[in-house]
Amino acid sequence: MAKGTMTNGTNSWHVSHQRTIEYEVVNCQNIFHPQNEALLSAGKGENTRRFVIVDANVEKYFSNEIREYFDFHKVDAKILVFPSGEQNKSVENYLWILRELDSFPINRRDEPIIAIGGGVLTDIAGFVASSYRRGVPHIKAPTTLMGYIDAAVGIKTGINFNSHKNRLGSFEPPKKVLLDKSFLRTLPERHVLNGVCEMLKLAVIKDLALFELLEIHGPASINSRFQDEISASILDRSVGGMLEELQPNLFEDELARKVDFGHTFSYGLETHEEAHLLHGEAVLIDIVLSSILANARNLLSDRELDRLFELVSKLGINLNSELVTPELLWNTLEERTYHRNGLQRVPLPKGLGQCTFVNDIKFEEIQSACKILEERKKNNEPIYQY
């Protein structure tokens, strides 16, 4: 109930309401098998409809299975094929999806939008769900490793705007997130490694045990596309670690976030068109530079920094630092400072598996970190490029 007060003859009301956020993140194999009802489990009613947005690469492999699945369950499904790639996370495509949805009306509460694809698709589909009729339910089924452990498991949605990544968006919880690791079998190696970079983020900043698992089992897990038992435990540990950080701070009321490790300098690198970097590749450059900064501040030992470079080499992850300049990194840090409400709030490793936040990084430190990165390249230390 709104409470009224009278101050100097003026009425005012204080309105307070708490929204309960509940959703499930579920391991679920072979979601297109006719006997698997996971995709339909969050809706209800007979003779239902579903608006299904499918990544073009997923549709290429699973077109028949998707259509046969909905036919088997007698669901009237409109299947919209969405083009792959970060460049398609645009206002124009957001409006295109909305127009298609509006021409295929769904019941506002009982017929969730279903998003099947990578982080680009689940981000834009979530934003559509949050804004259409002021909010309709949705289900996410991530099909990339990046989406599986990072992009799809939280409640952030977004699209790119005015040459800025995720400048428009919302916080909108899904009804369910369905994690089917069998999708990872079809990924090109570069996109597997793209997701592994987000695993490295968690390992360096909060989970030494995950770091050690990647040191021992990382190469084999990449080769198997994370299909074996040990790989499954790495996936679960990564998802659990991400959710452990997200759950207490879903709406980012606290802006000092461990999961922003690797997401300070990467922002400018990723939006630098000439770089052609995937999200995880930009994050990896940030991880390395931030770790060099931590080492210079005696937060990370020489041996710990070496272990990071050795692991990057062992996993075969390509680190393309050609476009890294102190000026670009500094400009990006300034932009992130606005995003973080006036403080840098840069997460740095304090030993492997631990974190601290700093607000006083200087341009000269960034210059020094760039020089150290270049020196490692000249000395043929383990840095790879596309």
Burial class for 7, CB neighbours closer than 10 Å (0-12, 13-18, 19+):
exposed
Q: Beta strand 346-349 with 355-358: parallel, antiparallel or unpaired? A: antiparallel
Q: What domains does the chain contain, in order, with CATH numbers?
A: 24-185 (3.40.50.1970), 195-207+228-378 (1.20.1090.10)
Q: Beta strand 164-171 with 138-142: parallel, antiparallel or unpaired? A: unpaired
Query: What is the model's pLDDT at position 283?
Result: 96
- Give me the sign of the Cα torsion angle 309, 314, 315, 316: positive
Predicted model pTM: 0.93
3-state secondary structure of 210: helix
Quick one: how far is CA 83 from the chain centroid? 18
Residues with catalytic function = 156
Q: Mean pLDDT in runs of 10 for the chain (386 residues)?
A: 63 90 96 96 84 97 96 96 95 98 94 97 98 97 97 97 94 98 96 97 98 98 97 98 97 97 94 81 96 98 97 91 92 96 98 98 98 83 44
Q: Which of 87, 44, 35, 82 is nearest to 278 (CA)?
A: 87
Query: What is the model's pLDDT at position 386?
Result: 34
Long-range CB contacts (within 8 A, 24+) of 215-223:
215/307, 215/311, 215/314, 218/311, 218/314, 218/315, 219/314, 219/315, 219/316, 222/189, 222/192, 222/193, 222/196, 222/315, 222/316
